[in-house]
């Protein structure tokens, strides 16, 4: 085993759950223990780190736990995150969300609890932090690194929109589930000769609509990066349906897609800690409008729709092969960096190779579909050209 190194590594998962988080936790933990580190699982993302009570006899069981090979092996093949997660942002916490034991200290409407987070991690003896999350979770990791904490981060999000990396944990399983669910619903659409309108995740980036469509799961897709004309979409959907011997057509609608001249559609006006209002409803509106407009493009006959929001169905269950292998590699990459004394980095996949980039890339840019390269704005579908030397999932962090 060689000479043992000592230290404490904290690991957490933040934001939405995806399949592949538990394999990443497992990879970090097993490798770290074998290198001589203690591993602490910080529970409920940044919430658990914030709510730690720095007293010897305090009950912090909801905030952190010691990780062992046995505990991570049991969870390593499953979906979700056994450490749990949250969308907490300690640097921007409302007065109502401040932990009870700190309410006398933080009394303004918006509070920065970063000093408490740093004290809590120090109290736990955490020498190194490995956060796993999307750009929101990792943006706070950037803040902690700037405060002097040794951080190496792992990207995850089924939207695949963390800048700097071609791949984020959860994306492959999301695409796999989307294709499978779409294919299952085809039988209903074909039986009733309807339009099939499926709303999928994707607030600012349309990768989760583009890749399944590129794989043949749908005829058309509309994405956040390009506002669409509902009249044109209806005409295209009718054309596809009439050419199909089974008399149906399919469109994937990103939750952040917008009508021409319109804005994003929200389920309500509440926002999370990062200021994001809950999206939802664009699929319903698209389904309603194309039904209304269908007769105009179908010889006066209205075409009914099947309207389904795939939502959490694509993020549940066990990870697929890619979301089992990539988290293993990402976890080991993170340990490689820590062993070399390198911090402030994001482990990534770029051009088919594992690598790492500066962590602050997550706050310095945005990753979205390059419409000019990959989206046909006349046909509302991906472009099927220039695939030579492209990586596995075609659309990279550089476009």
Q: Looking at the annotation, which residues are catalytic?
A: 159
- Determine contact, residues 340/150, Cβ cutoff 8 Å: no
Q: How many other CB atoms are there within 10 angstroms of residue 52's CB atom?
A: 22
Q: What is the side-by-side strand order in the sheet with 195-200?
A: 220-222, 249-254, 195-200, 305-309
Supply the DSSP string of 281-322, one letter for each residue. Answer: -HHHHHHHHHHHHHHHHTTT----EEEEE-GGGGT-S---SH
Distance CA 351, CA 348 (A): 10
- Kindly give, in sequence order, each residue whose CB lies less than 8 Å from that of residue 127, ignoring residues fewer than 6 positions away: 7, 8, 9, 150
Q: How many residues does the chain have?
A: 399
Beta strand residue intervals within 159-304, DSSP E? 195-200, 220-222, 249-254, 266-271, 277-279
Bridge partner residues of 9 (DSSP): 39, 128
> Which of the 8 DSSP states describes residue 125?
T
Strand 128-133, strand 8-13: pairing:
parallel
- Kindly give, in sequence order, each residue whose CB lies less than 8 Å from that of residue 35, ignoring residues fewer than 6 positions away: 4, 5, 335, 339
Q: How many other CB atoms are there within 10 angstroms of residue 8's CB atom?
A: 17
Bridge partner residues of 133 (DSSP): 155
* Structure tokens belonging to residue 78: 């499953």
């Amino acid at each position: 085993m060689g000479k043992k190194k000592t230290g404490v590594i904290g690991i957490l998962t933040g934001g939405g759950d995806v399949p592949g988080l538990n394999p990443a936790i497992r990879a970090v933990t097993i490798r770290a223990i074998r290198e001589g580190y203690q591993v602490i699982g910080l529970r409920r993302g940044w919430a658990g780190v914030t709510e730690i009570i720095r007293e010897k006899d305090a009950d912090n069981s909801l905030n952190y736990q010691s990780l062992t090979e046995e505990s991570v092996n049991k969870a390593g093949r499953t979906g979700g995150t056994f450490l749990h997660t949250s969308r907490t942002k300690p640097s921007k916490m409302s007065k109502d969300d401040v932990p009870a034991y700190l309410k006398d200290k933080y009394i303004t409407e918006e509070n920065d609890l970063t000093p408490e987070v740093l004290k809590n991690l120090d109290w736990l003896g955490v020498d190194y932090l490995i956060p796993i999350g999307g750009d929101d979770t990792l943006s706070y990791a950037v803040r902690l690194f700037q405060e002097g904490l040794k951080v190496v981060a792992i990207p995850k999000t089924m939207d695949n929109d963390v800048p700097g990396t071609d791949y984020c944990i959860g994306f492959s399983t999301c695409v796999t589930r989307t294709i499978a669910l779409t294919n299952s619903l085809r039988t209903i659409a074909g039986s009733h000769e309807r339009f099939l309108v499926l709303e999928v995740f994707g607030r600012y980036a349309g990768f989760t609509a583009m890749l399944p469509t590129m794989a043949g799961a749908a005829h058309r897709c509309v994405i956040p990066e390009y506002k669409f004309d509902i009249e044109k979409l209806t005409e295209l959907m009718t054309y596809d349906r009439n050419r199909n011997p089974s008399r149906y057509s399919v469109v994937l609608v990103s939750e952040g897609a917008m009508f021409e001249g319109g804005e994003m559609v929200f389920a309500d006006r509440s926002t999370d800690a990062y200021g994001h209002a809950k999206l939802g409803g664009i699929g319903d509106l698209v389904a309603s409008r194309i039904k209304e407009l269908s007769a105009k493009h179908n010889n006066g006959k209205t075409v009914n729709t099947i309207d389904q929001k795939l939502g959490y169905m694509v993020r549940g269950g066990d990870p697929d092969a890619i979301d089992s292998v990539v988290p293993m590699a990402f976890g080991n990459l993170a340990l490689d960096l820590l062993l070399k004394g390198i911090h402030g980095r994001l482990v990534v996949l770029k051009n088919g190779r594992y690598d790492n980039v500066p962590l602050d890339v997550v706050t310095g840019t945005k990753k979205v579909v390059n419409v000019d390269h990959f989206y046909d704005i006349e046909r509302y579908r991906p472009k099927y050209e220039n695939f030579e030397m492209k990586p596995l999932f075609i659309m990279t962090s550089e476009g």
